[in-house]
């Protein structure tokens, strides 16, 4: 690929450009599955810095702490380096530090132990009545 055809996002961050968009960073370090979800989280005030909601276009740099609310858990992350491209899971610790308190992570434990629905093995696909019964059971819990 000729150098003239390269996009600006293909270039690594240089010393004079040590910032990136917050929605892009949240997606790149795999906090959100898509950049659209990261942008939506910013727009709905689920991403904050210093208890102030941030817009998706806000620039972040190293050392900043972001608070991200996902479900009932509030995560805290320190930005170690800005990042424009998505990286693999083994490389994520180079770009962010998870500061989430253990009390917040413990909120997820009861959810993991609850079975979604119990069905006998080999009974086949649930009928319409079975699905309604399962929905009623879930709504009662």
Question: pLDDT per residue over 98-141, tens digit each?
Answer: 999 999 888 887 766 666 666 677 788 888 998 898 888 777 75
| Nearest alpha carbon to residue 25 among 96, 114, 98 | 96
Distant-in-sequence, close-in-space partners of 46: CB < 8 Å, separation ≥ 6: 68, 69, 70
Stretch 30-41: mean pLDDT: 95
Q: Return the domain boundaries, the chain.
A: 9-99
Q: Is the pLDDT of residue 9 over 70?
A: no
CATH of 9-99, one of 3.65.10.10, 2.120.10.30, 3.30.310.50, 3.10.290.10: 3.10.290.10
Per-residue pLDDT at 8: 47
Mean pLDDT rounded to a whole number for the chain: 84
The percentage of residues in the chain with a pLDDT greater than 70, rounded to a whole number, is 81
Query: Residue 105: which H helix or E strand, with range?
Result: helix 102-106
């Amino acid at each position: 690929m000729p150098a003239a055809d390269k996009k600006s996002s293909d270039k690594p961050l240089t010393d004079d450009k040590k910032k990136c968009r917050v929605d892009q960073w949240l997606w790149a370090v795999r906090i959100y599955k898509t950049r659209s979800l990261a942008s939506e989280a910013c727009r709905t005030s689920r991403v904050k810095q210093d208890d102030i909601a941030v817009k998706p276009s806000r620039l972040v740099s190293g050392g900043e702490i972001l608070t991200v609310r996902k479900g009932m858990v509030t995560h805290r992350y320190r930005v170690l380096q800005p990042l424009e491209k998505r990286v693999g899971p083994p490389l994520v610790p180079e770009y962010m530090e998870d500061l989430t308190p253990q009390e917040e992570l413990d909120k997820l434990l009861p959810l993991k132990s609850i079975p979604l629905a119990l069905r006998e093995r080999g009974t086949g696909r649930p009928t319409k009545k079975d699905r309604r019964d399962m929905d009623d059971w879930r709504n009662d819990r």
